[in-house]
Amino acid sequence: MASAASASEGKEPRTERGRKTLRAILDAAALEFGEKGFHEGSVSGITRRAGVALGSFYTYFDSKDAVFRALVRDMSAQVRDHVAPAIRAAPDGIAAERAGLERFIGFVRAHKEIYRIIDEAEFVDPESFHAHYATTAERIHARLRAAADRGEVRGDVGEAHAWAIMGMNVFLGLRFGVWEEDRLPEAIAGEIAEFLRHGLAPRG
């Protein structure tokens, strides 16, 4: 269900029906912008996909720009919420990164439009674009530091390591989630977990 905070300021839904309508609009916006891009996408296209009246759109959003900004935040939150349970259930820090990547690739396969939407956000809404990656890296950094404190990873892990893992995951999602689905997400995640655990140094 969409968060009330997804709507434009002062237009938050107050009923369950309103929250369902908001969710339908955001899902339709993902399809519209994912297929056509921001500039070619339209409010009327969103409302047609959502099966709601044009007035319902403006009940929750001020403009096409507003729904796009909300969509970037919403998709970022969806990724976070999708991977979080698997990460929390993992027995250690490396296993947490493995679980997160596996779930992320699965999410991407079901929501391929996320890449076009996030990429366009760099130019349409730079603040949301920056926040998407910065908050993701912050979560990874916090996990790595907690794992370091437990003795599960090297003690000097820092921000650069977090951004490196995030960048790796982004492109793995593109390759194995958007371009092709020729390998199982768990197999990819397993390889990357070994890479994180041992690096590229020759064994033995």
Residue-range domains of the chain with CATH? 1-62 (1.10.10.60), 71-204 (1.10.357.10)
Q: Mean pLDDT across the chain, nearest whole number? A: 94
CA atoms within 13 A on the CB side of 19: 8
Q: CB count, 10 Å around CB of 125?
A: 21
Rounded Cα distance between 181 and 22, Å, is 31
Helical residues (DSSP H) of the chain, grouped into ranges? 16-40, 43-50, 54-60, 64-89, 93-110, 113-124, 126-149, 159-173, 185-198
10-26: per-residue pLDDT in tens? Answer: 778 889 999 999 999 99
Predicted TM-score (pTM) of this structure: 0.92
29-59: per-residue pLDDT in tens? Answer: 999 999 999 999 999 999 999 999 999 999 9
Instruction: Return phi, psi of residue 179, to 5°.
Output: -70, -50
- Inform me whether the pLDDT recorded for 178 exceeds 70: yes
Rounded Cα distance between 41 and 21, Å, is 19
162-175: per-residue pLDDT in tens? Answer: 999 999 999 999 99
Tokens matching residue 181: 């689905």
